[in-house]
Structure 1
């Protein structure tokens, strides 16, 4: 299982200047390589190297850095073509797709720069790194991180790392290949119903209400609108200082919820059943005031956190079809759209049971999770004649 560990670099003044100039120089050359690739019909990486490698070396890049620039450009075009084939940029005649296809890919000056073990080395005991820059290789660049993150780096770091600059601070994003724990045989499943009013509701009784997070988002939205209207230097400075604050808050909230769910499943020797919600934003049609709430719903992030935490703990996890889970009675199985009286109330028109709507849905998800797990474990050996 691959996870990433982020460490904060603490360079000195001269080191910071070299680190700051490196991404800008490299990304400027990446834009040039992108123009060459676009003009030549985006050839394969080996063919693109013939047309660009000598120029990159002449501009002062090392051999590995030049290779990384070429590979980064080619990977960007591969991603673009994948999105085009999948229809993520609209129909062939849409304005967004035509714009994406009609010009070379451009790279932001502060875009991340990948490093491999030839360009970057770690000294874990001293908590320093030696890193290549356009001003030469600089050594003894200090970094800080948590004790757990340092242990993960020391034991499992593998592959490339990315150097990024965010608000004047440098970070290294390291890839770690952490072994998955052996999954146990579950004694039942915990169903997790994801939503907006209640972020997560489980069949065991845990409920993470979304009221506080909703109020926080509204407050941040109003504050951003107020500052944007002023258009002063101080307002822009405040906006920059507050950037990504909401994202960090939501991410931390999702981490807490995911950890609570996985810990409960591990303690009770249960598996976890999640809804398969891919494509929900394209399927659901809402009024304009509700669209902001839907598109700021970080259900995929929460599900991703639950998945990787469950794998690390050895907790079995399955995805189930969410269709009609909110309209089906968990007691008698009666399905009726009218069973869902409102957002929080469920009254079965078959057996008359009254329950919390999200709690009822979580029980249906748990039952489907157990069925999916059993279907995956049943014997496929043909019967003896």
Structure 2
């Protein structure tokens, strides 16, 4: 399994200036290569490299390997765009978003991330420094900061490219670590997890992780942003810039904490984890205007990703099941009706009278579906 490790660089002002100039040069080169790829319909890495390699080196001041990385970044970007168009993620062919994506070359921000391989970047992990190529020469003994766990991952499992990024005036390196896949234990049972907005996660055991604190935090941040935006001063603008992504980082921390606790319980009890497959839920529902911000900021997908990779790392089985009617179906008699859920918080079966918290009932239904689905997942294939 692959994990990414993000370390913070600690450059001097001169080193930061060289890193900034390097990102600008690499992304200008990528813009140039993207224009050539779009105009000449070049999708092959070798074809595009033959067309732009000499110009990229001469015009933008890149050495051989950074020029190759810039070309590869462009090819990967067009491959991603092609996949998004094929799967319909940019809408139908007549939509404005689709036309905008297909009628102009892909553009790269001046501070977009740039990949570096081991020829351009070397790690001195004992000294906690890196040596990195820049347009102003190679920077040696560039210090970085990370935790002891991150350093252990880098020492034992770092592999492949590392991305240089600038975020809010701070510099980071994101390295890929390739860990061996742990053996997934056969689950003795399942923990069903129902994800929601009012309650971020509710398990079939009855454990409830409320979203009230996160909602309150989002409202506080929205009020602060509105106050600063209303002032229209340079100081307010600086403060707004300093608050960038603070809300997102807080939501990520909450999801990490929830997923860590659920995986720990599953590992201790020998059970697997099952969640609903909620892909495309934002496209399937129609909301009032005052509800749209709440749904768009609902971090359910990230919580599912955290559960999946933490479970895989711990050797815990993880499964996604059909989400249809999990909150309206009675787990005892299987009667399904909208009236079974008279309010958001309560469930009461109209046939057998089973009653309880609606989110817990949904978690139990997810658990029951995982029990049935796991039989088909682990069943041996029929012999020819």
TM-score w.r.t. structure 1 length?
0.97
1:38 aligns with 38
Q: Answer yes or no: is 1:63 the counterpart of 2:64.
A: yes
Describe the SS at the equivalent of 2:327. coil
Give the drift of 1:334: 1.7
User: Which runs of 5 or more structure 2 residues have no equivalent in the other structure?
Assistant: none
Q: Which residue of 1 aligns with 2:50?
A: 50
Which piece of structure 1 moves more, 254-263 or 102-111?
102-111
User: Shift in Å at residue 69 of structure 1?
Assistant: 0.8
Match of 2:327 in 1: 326
1:14 aligns with 2:20: no
Query: For 1:187-232, what per-residue CA distance to the aligned partner results, in whole angstroms no more than 9, with x for missing partners?
Result: 1100000000000000112110001111111221222223223322
Distance, in Å, in 2 between the alignment partners of 1:123 and 1:375 is 48
Distance (whole Å) between structure 2 residues aligned to residue 230 and residue 12 of structure 1: 34
TM-score of the two chains, using structure 2 as the length reference? 0.97
SS at match of 2:162: strand
CA shift, 1:112, in A, is: 0.3
The corresponding residue for 2:23 is: 23
Assess if the C-alpha contact under 8 Å between 1:179 and 1:312 holds in 2.
no
Name 2:314's counterpart in structure 1.
Answer: 313
Map of 1:280 onto structure 2: 281
- Tell me if 1:339 matches 2:340: yes
Q: Which piece of structure 1 moves more, 40-49 or 153-162?
A: 40-49
Q: CA offset at residue 380 of structure 1?
A: 4.3
Determine helix, strand or coil for the equivalent of 1:5.
Answer: strand
8 Å contact 2:154–2:177 — kept in the other structure? Answer: yes
Gaps of 5+ in 1: none
Is 1:157 paired with 2:158?
yes
Matched, 1:142 2:147: no
What per-residue deviation string (whole Å, max 9, x for no partner) do you get for residues 82-141 of structure 1? Answer: 222222222222222222222221110100010011111111111111111111111111
Contact kept? 1:129, 1:141, Cα under 8 Å? yes
| SS at 1:136 equivalent | coil
Give SS of 1:114's match: strand
When residues 41 and 331 of structure 1 are mapped into structure 2, their CA distance, relative to the original with a 3 A threshold, is same
DSSP 3-state at the match of 1:78: helix
Q: How many residues of Structure 1 are paired with residues of Structure 2 in the alignment?
A: 383
Task: Name the CA distance, whole Å, in 2 between partners of 1:229 and 1:82.
Answer: 41
Aligned-residue Cα RMSD (Å) equals: 1.4
1:354 alignment counterpart: 355
Matching residue of 2:179: 178
Are 1:97 and 2:98 an aligned pair?
Answer: yes
- The verdict on how the C-alpha distance between 1:54 and 1:196 changes in structure 2, with shifts beyond 3 A counting, is same
Q: CA 1:380/1:34 → structure 2, altered by over 3 Å: closer, same or farther?
A: closer
Cα distance, 1:93–1:147 mapped onto 2, change above 3 Å: same
Question: Is 1:262 the counterpart of 2:286 in the alignment?
Answer: no
Contact preservation (8 Å) 1:42, 1:77: no
Distance 1:27 1:355 in 2: 56
Deviates more, 1:164-173 or 1:216-225: 216-225
Q: Determine the structure 2 residue equivalent to 1:253.
A: 254
Cα deviation digits, residues 166-207 of structure 1 (max 9, x gap)? 122110000111122211111110000000000000011211
CA contact (8 A) 2:43 2:78 kept: no
The alpha-carbon distance between structure 1 residues 264 and 229, as it changes in their structure 2 partners (threshold 3 A), is same
Partner SS, residue 290 of structure 2? helix
Instruction: Give secondary structure in 2 for the equivalent of 1:285.
Output: coil
In structure 2, the residue matched to 1:130 is 131
Quote the Cα distance in structure 2 between the aligned partners of 1:350 and 1:93: 48
